[in-house]
Amino acid sequence: MRFAVAAGLTAGMALAGCGGGKAGEPMASGSAVTGTITVFAAASLTESFTTIGRRFEVAHPGTTVTFNFAGSSALATQINEGAPADVFAAASPKNMQAVTDAGTPATFVKNQLVIVVAKGNPKGVAGLAGLTRPDLKVALCAEAVPCGAAARTAIEASGVKVTPVTLEQDVKAALSKVKLGEVDAALVYRTDAKASAADVDAVEFPESAKAINDYPIVVLKTAKNPAGARAFVDYVLSSEAATVLTGAGFQAP
């Protein structure tokens, strides 16, 4: 699995990539980039990072990028418990801070919530207030997960009360509930809705602007392949990767 971002992100990423010893620091001249690079990444990055990983391997023959996609909180726990990883890309700074062996992260994109419903929006959901209807089944992410924390912030900003029938451990699981017809609506990232546009419709709502998530990325201090990890992070911060990320619906940092 692999990943990349768009022209609108280039300036912000260039700034994020400056500084010695930090995520995105340019590779030293002559540094060899080979071997396997293990990337732990938020579930919402699945499609984008899969593409970026493939392109990175083409640009760096002799490398293999492997991914572990899951909720950011679960990934942070795995890293702290000793799971081998070279790079961590989280869907919120809070989950990045929870990793005790993280270096200095760089924010590379932002993401925003939408309401996803079945194609054609058969229940006529128009905003968060519509999710309070007793005839609707709603899925949210658990609050420990970035998409769940963002959902709570947005819902609180709206002044309504949404009672979910399920709390999922990552955004893909919440989206899947709608795709399978097990719930009528879910709060997920705009990027996930876009990736599944053939199966669901997205309903924008103004309160989502109060709950935009920053996505940080870092080379872990315990990386087994630090040269490869730095090269991968540099690629994520590049204009080439920016094209993939903004094309997927991510916003500039």
Return the sign of the alpha-carbon dihedral for residues 150, 220, 4, 170. Answer: negative
Q: Where are the domains of the chain?
A: 7-109+214-247, 113-210
pLDDT of residue 31: 57
Model confidence pLDDT, tens digit, residues 204-229: 999 999 999 999 999 999 999 999 99
C-alpha–C-alpha distance, residues 219 and 12, integer Å: 19
Amino acid at position 194, single letter: K
Known binding residues for molybdate are 44, 72, 171, 189
Q: In this structure, what DSSP letter does residue 78 have?
A: H
Model confidence pLDDT, tens digit, residues 50-96: 999 999 999 999 999 999 999 999 999 999 999 999 999 999 999 99
User: Residue 32: pLDDT band by 50, 70, 90 thresholds?
Assistant: confident
pLDDT of residue 101: 80
**DSSP letters for 41-80:** EEGGGHHHHHHHHHHHHHHSTTEEEEEEEE-HHHHHHHHH
The 3-state DSSP class for residue 221 equals: coil
Is pLDDT above 50 for 22?
no
Percent of the chain with pLDDT over 70: 88
Model confidence pLDDT, tens digit, residues 118-170: 999 999 999 999 999 999 999 999 999 999 999 999 999 999 999 999 999 99
Region 113-210: CATH code: 3.40.190.10
Is pLDDT above 70 for 26?
no
Known binding residues are 44, 72, 171, 189
Model confidence pLDDT, tens digit, residues 162-203: 999 999 999 999 999 999 999 999 999 999 999 999 999 999
CA angle 83, 139, 202 (to 5 degrees): 100
Q: Are 7-109+214-247 and 113-210 the same fold in CATH?
A: yes
As a whole number, the mean pLDDT across the chain is: 89
CATH 3.40.190.10 corresponds to the domain 7-109+214-247? yes
